[in-house]
């Protein structure tokens, strides 16, 4: 059976910016017969995610994922064969038929947001807390701010890269306000929008944006160290080292900053996915998505997402 697949064409190098030419679409054939226990799968939707950047390097630098090999399929294709035991059956009712949500708000990025806030955020009802989210208009960030509000924060302020994203956060996702980091003065806007300081910071980006947020955090506040995407095209360890000044701020103000890895909380995933499903279906969480069509767009979609071309979860629709 002829099928299409995307393979890794070349590597950007540890300090390079990924471009679509690093990927290549090719035709291949699947063996006609299935082995015992194998299942023929037709892909409906694919996800591209920031962690894939480290899979483009010869060494990922982290223990939980392996590097992609040159000319080998970057996981995902429009039809493929799998061991049945490696597959997870999903119930379309859980997402009201909106199947791509399984890759986002009712999947791993939704879990990251919900469990990240619950495990590391110390959000307490009626504590008058202010949450700031960086990478706020992305898949994890847009849900994290909404969870923060639902769990009791009086304010959720998002930091993101465009006016359109700022508008989506405030008008569609219930953020109190949003800052366009490309245009606005972040320290001044944070002071204006967070008059009582910052109690919880959901950090997706790291780098200078996070240094600026941390400088305005309250005593005994909490950083949820979710991701550091501003550093992913650089050859630095994860998490990237902080400056002595920021470390001193963390110590002096007794700010916790614990690394959060969703894969360490899979024992809580079933209950959390059930909750996310309810929150989405009841309209308490609004889901943002950017959808492109066609497996040949995988490389473009990945590179675009790494530069901020997406609002909400970046999805590639492969077939109906």
- Give yes or no for residue 262 binding ligand NDP (CB under 6 A): yes
Q: According to CB under 6 A, which one of 60, 100, 101, 109 is a site residue for ligand NDP? A: 109
As a whole number of Å, the CA-based R_g of the chain is 20
Q: Is 141 in the site for ligand NDP (CB under 6 A)?
A: yes
Cα dist from 222 to 47, 194, 208, 232, 251, whole Å: 30, 15, 18, 23, 12
Could you tell me which of 77, 109, 54, 62 has the C-alpha nearest to residue 319? Answer: 77
Selection from 4, 75, 89 nearest residue 39 by Cα? 89
If the CB atoms of residues 227 and 299 are measured against ligand NDP, the closer one turns out to be 227
Q: Binders of ligand NDP: how many residues, by CB under 6 A?
A: 31
User: Where in 285-314 is the site for ligand NDP (CB under 6 A)?
Assistant: 305-306, 308, 310, 314
Residue with the two structure tokens 């989210």: 133
3-state secondary structure of 170: helix
Q: Is 224 helix (H, G, I), strand (E, B) or coil?
A: strand
Q: Which of residues 12-71 bind ligand NDP (CB under 6 A)?
A: 49-51
| Cα separation, 126 vs 82, whole angstroms | 49
Of positions 161, 257, 295, 297, contacts ligand NDP by CB under 6 A: 161
What is the rounded distance in angstroms from the CA atom of residue 196 to the CA atom of residue 43? Answer: 48
Is residue 132 a contact point for ligand NDP (CB under 6 A)?
no
Stretch in the footprint of ligand NDP (CB under 6 A) among 122-130, 156-164, 192-200, 249-257: 156-164
Strands of 313-317's sheet, edge to edge?
Answer: 45-47, 313-317, 289-293
Task: Out of 52, 103, 139, 292, point to the residue binding ligand NDP (CB under 6 A).
Answer: 139
Q: Which residues pair with 134 in a beta bridge?
A: 159
Is the CB of 51 or the CB of 269 nearer to ligand NDP? 51
Least CB distance to ligand NDP at residue 65 (A): 11
The tokens for 316 are: 């590639």
- Residue number with CB closer to ligand NDP (4 or 20): 20
Q: Phi, psi at residue 187, to the nearest 5°?
A: -60, -45
Sign of CA dihedral 142, 198, 123, 206: positive
Rank residues 198 and 311 by Cβ distance to ligand NDP and give the closer one. 311
Stretch that binds ligand NDP, among 60-68, 139-147, 194-202, 267-275 (CB under 6 A): 139-147
* Footprint of ligand NDP on 193-252 (CB under 6 A): 204-205, 209, 226-230
Q: How far is residue 172 CA from its own chain's centroid?
A: 18
Task: Decide: is 76 part of the binding site for ligand NDP (CB under 6 A).
Answer: no
The answer to whether 48 and 301 have CB atoms below 8 angstroms apart is: yes
Tell me: cis bond preceding 239? Omega within 30 of 0 counts. yes
Q: Which is nearer to ligand NDP, 38 or 211 (CB)?
A: 211
Q: Which stretch binds ligand NDP (CB under 6 A): 3-11, 117-125, 260-268, 278-286?
A: 260-268
User: Binding string, 165-204, against ligand NDP, x = CB under 6 A?
Assistant: x--------------------------------------x
Write down how long the chain is: 320
Q: Write out the residues near ligand NDP by the rule CB under 6 A.
A: 49-51, 109, 112, 135, 137-141, 160-162, 165, 204-205, 209, 226-230, 260-262, 305-306, 308, 310, 314
């Amino acid at each position: 059976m002829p099928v299409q697949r995307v393979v890794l064409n070349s590597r950007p190098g540890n300090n390079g910016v990924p471009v679509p030419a690093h990927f290549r679409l090719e035709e291949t054939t699947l063996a006609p017969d299935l082995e015992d226990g194998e299942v023929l799968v037709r892909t409906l939707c694919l996800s591209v995610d920031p962690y894939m950047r480290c899979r483009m390097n010869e060494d990922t630098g982290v223990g939980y994922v392996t590097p992609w090999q040159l000319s080998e399929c970057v996981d995902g294709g429009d039809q493929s064969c799998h061991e049945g035991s490696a597959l997870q059956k999903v119930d379309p009712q859980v997402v009201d038929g909106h199947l791509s949500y399984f890759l986002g708000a009712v999947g791993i990025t939704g879990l990251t947001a919900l469990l990240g806030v619950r495990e590391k955020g110390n959000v307490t009802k009626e504590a008058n807390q202010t949450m700031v989210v960086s990478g706020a208009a992305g898949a994890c960030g847009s849900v994290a701010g909404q969870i923060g509000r639902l769990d009791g924060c009086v304010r959720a302020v998002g930091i993101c890269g465009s006016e359109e994203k700022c508008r989506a956060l405030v008008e569609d996702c219930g953020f109190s306000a949003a800052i366009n980091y490309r245009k606005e003065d972040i320290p001044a806007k944070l002071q204006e929008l967070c008059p009582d300081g910052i109690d919880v910071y959901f950090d997706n980006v790291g780098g200078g944006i996070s240094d600026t947020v941390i400088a305005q955090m309250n005593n005994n506040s909490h950083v949820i160290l979710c991701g550091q995407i501003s550093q992913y095209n650089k050859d630095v360890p994860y998490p990237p080292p902080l400056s002595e000044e920021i470390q001193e701020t963390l110590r002096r103000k007794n700010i916790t900053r614990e690394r959060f890895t969703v894969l360490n909380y899979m024992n809580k995933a079933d209950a959390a996915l059930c909750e996310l499903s309810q929150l989405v279906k009841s309209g308490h969480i609004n889901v943002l998505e950017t959808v492109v069509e066609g497996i040949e767009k995988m490389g473009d979609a990945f590179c675009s997402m790494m530069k901020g071309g997406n609002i909400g979860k970046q999805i590639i629709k492969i077939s109906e």
